[in-house]
Amino acid sequence: MASKDRILRLKEETRCNILDASLQIVKEEGWQALSMRKIADAIEYTAPIIYEYFSNKEAILLELTRKGYLILSRDLQEAKSKHRLPAKQLEAMWIAYWNFAFANKELYQGMFGVSTNCCEMVNKLPEADMPWDIFTEVIGELIGITDMESEIICKKYYTFWSVVHGLISINLLSRGFSDEMNRQVLRDAIGGIIRTIND
């Protein structure tokens, strides 16, 4: 039994090493540079061993994207839990979203297709719905609507997301202003949208 546990642990360790090496390559050279050969070289394995864990490069990209959504969802829940009022929760959650995008720039690019086309695979991931679920629950609470598929909730979510994602994208492409200016624009935008909900 101990031997079987050790084999499973080693397999999981190898799988994690493959994902870590993949993300490191992306950080250093960009998404377009990722290849099974480069991953194999980075962890000093042969390419066929990589294929034992992931059927192709797209499977690795999908797993990295899943990881990004799980981290983002965790960050959103943590931000939400620090406040009691829905308006404060929303503000904290969108700031956490912003912080996630810059702390995990390569994952964010993959998740949302900023300077890459990785996001085409997102429809295959149930984790991709997690941020939507967290945000819409709080938006619904603020508005006083329990139907999470409500057109009003959808519209408010996409208003928030369009502004925040747009500002992030501008900055990821190095076309933004200073950090201080960006944070002020972010807070003004979030506050303005929340006020439209409260009015």
Distances (CA, A) of 12 to 46, 62, 117, 188: 17, 17, 28, 44
The counts of H helices and E strands in the chain are 9, 0
Q: What is the pLDDT of residues 2-38, one digit of tens each?
A: 678 888 888 899 999 999 999 999 999 988 889 999 9
* pLDDT at position 115: 52
User: What are the tens digits of pLDDT across the range 85-105?
Assistant: 999 999 999 999 999 999 999
pTM of the model as a whole: 0.88
Instruction: Provide the sign of the torsion angle of the four alpha carbons 36, 71, 160, 138, taken in this order.
Output: positive
pLDDT at residue 176 greater than cutoff 70: no
pLDDT at 44 over 60: yes
Closest CA to 90 of 103, 76, 104: 76
Placement of tokens 């950080």 in the chain: 27
pLDDT at 154 over 90: yes
Give residue 175's pLDDT: 64
Q: Find the mean pLDDT for residues 134-145.
A: 94
Residue range(s) occupied by CATH 1.10.357.10 in the chain: 64-198
What is the helix (H) or strand (E) element at residue 104, kind and residue range?
none
Give me the helix-helix angle, 105-112 and 2-29, nearest 10°: 90
CATH topology of domain 64-198: Tetracycline Repressor; domain 2 (1.10.357)
pLDDT of the residue at 7: 82
Mean pLDDT of 131-155: 92
| CATH of the structural domain 1-54, one choice from 3.30.70.1430, 1.10.10.60, 3.40.1190.20, 3.10.110.10 | 1.10.10.60
**Residue intervals in the chain for CATH 1.10.10.60:** 1-54
pLDDT at 1 over 60: no
- Assess whether pLDDT exceeds 80 at residue 120: no
For residue 87, the model assigns a pLDDT of: 95
Confidence of residue 65 (pLDDT cuts 50, 70, 90): very high
